[in-house]
Amino acid sequence: MAKKVTSKKETQQESTVTPEMQAYRQLDVDVAVEKRLVALYTLQLVDSEIDKIKIIRGELPQAIEDLEDEIAGLETRISNFNNDIEATNQKMAAEKNEIAEHNEMIKKYEKQQDNVRNNREFEAINKEIEYKNLQIQLCERHLKEAKAHISEVEQHIKAAELLLENRHKDLDVKKAELDDIIKETEKDENRLMEKSHEQEQFIEPRYLTAYKRIRNAARNGLAVVTIDRDACGGCFSKIPPQRQTEIKMHKKVIVCEHCGRILVDDDIAEKAQAGIQK
């Protein structure tokens, strides 16, 4: 096997890297990792405070959204009812026109009866008149049914409008409650949101993406947790002693093998708390 040829320049560079320099380089790496962990846990603390504010709002935003959907549905229903009445009125107008036409034909047939030449012609015209009268009766029945239908639809409209009015009142009350809560917490929320965005600037995109993914998947919104009684502060699974030692060394970002949350020790937590209180 051919031996690697080391140039004079490379030999000089290697010879200039002292143990002290290697220690400083390792220290720089450790400091960078520690800063990343502090930034991640600080971000978690800030986002958890934002979550608390949202909890104070409770289910009001969802209740408002549900009421708005119900109101939109009621308005659509009322609009459909009105369209139904309009279409029925058009049918009634057509029935009335048909009745008028039948009456005109009856008058015409009655005049023709005065000039008939025999009984057969008279009976034929009389049958036409009877048929037209039956047509008129049918139209009148349709008119009666249409009026009853409109009356029924109008009752539905009144009920829907009353319900719509009540829902608008409920919506106004819910929005007023939410506005009051927002006014009370708006200042704190804006401050925390700015702090959250500020912390995101200190975290590499891949870690920030992982943080948000874990946080969205967790029911309690915790993506970065401390070790509590030798267990993960998120899923409460036991952390082996060797793993705990690695976490305390701050040499790399370590996650829980069970839930995937990022694990930090009390030292990181204290530094994050101190940073927030500044």
Which helix (H) or strand (E) segment is 71 a member of? helix 60-113
Q: How do residues 88-108 score in pLDDT, each as one tens digit?
A: 999 999 999 999 999 999 999
Q: How do residues 169-218 score in pLDDT, each as one tens digit?
A: 999 999 998 888 888 778 888 888 888 888 888 888 898 999 999 999 88
Q: What is the CATH classification number for the domain harbouring 166? A: 1.10.287
Task: For residue 132, tell me if it sits in a domain.
Answer: yes
Nearest residue to 136 via CA among 180, 165, 100: 100
* Two structure tokens written together for 273: 């708390």
For 141, the domain range is 57-185
Q: Do 241 and 235 touch, CB atoms closer than 8 A?
A: no
pTM for the structure as a whole: 0.56
User: What mean pLDDT is predicted for residues 134-159?
Assistant: 96
Task: For residue 70, tell me if it sits in a domain.
Answer: yes
Model confidence band, residue 4 (pLDDT cutoffs 50, 70, 90): very low
The dihedrals phi and psi of 201, each to the nearest 5 degrees, come to -65, -20
Task: For residue 215, tell me if it sits in a domain.
Answer: no
Task: For residue 11, tell me if it sits in a domain.
Answer: no
Tell me, what DSSP letter sits at residue 238? B
Task: For residue 2, tell me if it sits in a domain.
Answer: no
* Two structure tokens written together for 113: 């009866």
Task: For residue 262, tell me if it sits in a domain.
Answer: no
User: What mean pLDDT is predicted for residues 102-121?
Assistant: 89
* Two structure tokens written together for 161: 């409008």
How many domains is the chain built from? 1
